[in-house]
A and B are shown apart, each in its own frame.
Chain A
Amino acid sequence: MKKLFGILILGLFLSGCATSGFNPFGSVQNPINNNRLAEIESTYGIALSAAVAYRNTRLCKKNEQASVTNICAYRSVILKLQAADRNVQTALKNARKFIRENPTLDAFSVISVAQQALGGFQAIQAEYGVR
């Protein structure tokens, strides 16, 4: 009975707040979003730096094999990295836009999408030894 009474009081208080325009929970910017996004962007920046170095390496000729003593970059790997980069860029743009337009909301879902896209990029790097 006491619990029900407490819930009723809380409900009355909150509905009163809604009509009066006072929000007891405030409108606080979600700092976690910025930090999470910065961590993903920074991790991506490091991966991207390695990819750019790979891109700027001499291209392997047709049928040429890259090795420790014969350093060259495979065209096919660069094309894969370029495609994966476009995915990450789209996901990051969406995450940045969401956070800018919704500073108080939790951006978990858009940040997760960006994280997954980053995972895809890093998987290509790991598969082809781009570091």
Chain B
Amino acid sequence: MDALAIINLIATVIKTAVDLTPAIIKTAEDAAPFAQAIYNSLIKGEKVTKEDLEALEARITELSNQLQKPLPPEED
């Protein structure tokens, strides 16, 4: 199952629409490792290791840093 198929599976479960605009494709690329982790844990029933958690934490920190970047001053 490839990353986009996993995203679609999760999207069906949480009832979120996914369409293929460029921004959403980038979102799908960023979200793929997380979707894979959910698939491994929930569907394949794999045991999560300390290393798995550390990898997830590192990705989340990276994304959070991007979200937290200060906004430019408001234009009048």
Contact = CB atoms under 8 A, between A and B. Distances in A.
> How big is the A interface, by class?
35 or more
Contacts of A52: 27, 30, 63, 66-67
Interface of B: 7, 10, 16-18, 23-24, 26-28, 30-31, 33-35, 37-38, 41-42, 47-50, 52-53, 56-57, 59-60, 63-64, 66-69, 71-72, 74-76
A34 B56 CA distance: 12
Chain B residues touching A, majority SS: helix
A102 interface: no
B47 to A, nearest CB: 6
Chain A residues touching B, majority SS: helix
A16 to B, nearest CB: 34
B53 A31 contact: no
Interface of A: 31, 34-35, 37-39, 41-46, 48-53, 55-57, 59, 61-62, 71, 75, 78-79, 81-82, 85-86, 89, 92, 96, 131
Of the candidates B38, B42, B76, the one having the most CB atoms from chain A within 10 angstroms of its own CB is B38
